[in-house]
């Protein structure tokens, strides 16, 4: 379990560096609302961006983004709504996924902008 936590932390650090390199302003990391957590909350232009980070050491069985299921999306939408209310964010909210593959041959970062939409 410790290895998974270390891998996840390393992935989030890489995701933050990637986002900052693209001009995003990081507001929060690992923001919690009840039992739910948002990995990264950032600003990109007028958008409040909710970022789910998925880090893996292999994509043999599936691509990392496939683990962001409809259930996980609903959790992120609820938490994002709570955050937007808490911070009184007047603009739009966008949901991105950043996947990180950390393998012996190197690291791969894939940033999926507008990965899914909040639906009612």
Q: What is the pLDDT of residue 9?
A: 86
Judged against a pLDDT cut of 60, whether residue 27 lies above it is answered with yes
Domain hosting residue 101, numbered range: 2-116
Domain count, the chain: 1
d(CA 101, CA 103): 6
Burial of 96 (0-12, 13-18, 19+ CB in 10 A): buried
Judged against a pLDDT cut of 90, whether residue 18 lies above it is answered with yes
pLDDT band at 76 (very low <50, low <70, confident <90, very high): very high
Higher model confidence: residue 11 or residue 95?
95
Read off the CATH number of the domain in which 63 is found: 3.40.1350.10
* pTM score: 0.89
Return the ∠ at Cα 78 (arms to 73 and 84), rounded to 5°. Answer: 120
- For residue 30, the tally of other CB atoms under 10 A from its CB is 11
């Amino acid at each position: 379990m410790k290895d998974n936590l270390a891998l996840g932390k390393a992935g989030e650090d890489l995701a933050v560096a990637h986002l900052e390199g693209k001009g995003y302003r990081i507001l929060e990391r690992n923001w919690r609302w009840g039992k739910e957590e948002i990995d990264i909350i950032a600003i990109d232009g007028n958008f409040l961006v909710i970022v789910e980070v998925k880090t893996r050491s292999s994509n043999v069985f599936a691509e990392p983004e496939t683990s962001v299921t409809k259930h996980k999306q609903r959790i992120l939408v609820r938490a994002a709504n709570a955050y937007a209310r808490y911070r009184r964010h007047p603009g739009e909210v966008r949901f991105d996924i950043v996947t990180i593959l950390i393998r012996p041959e190197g690291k791969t970062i894939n940033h999926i902008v507008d990965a899914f939409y909040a639906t009612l």
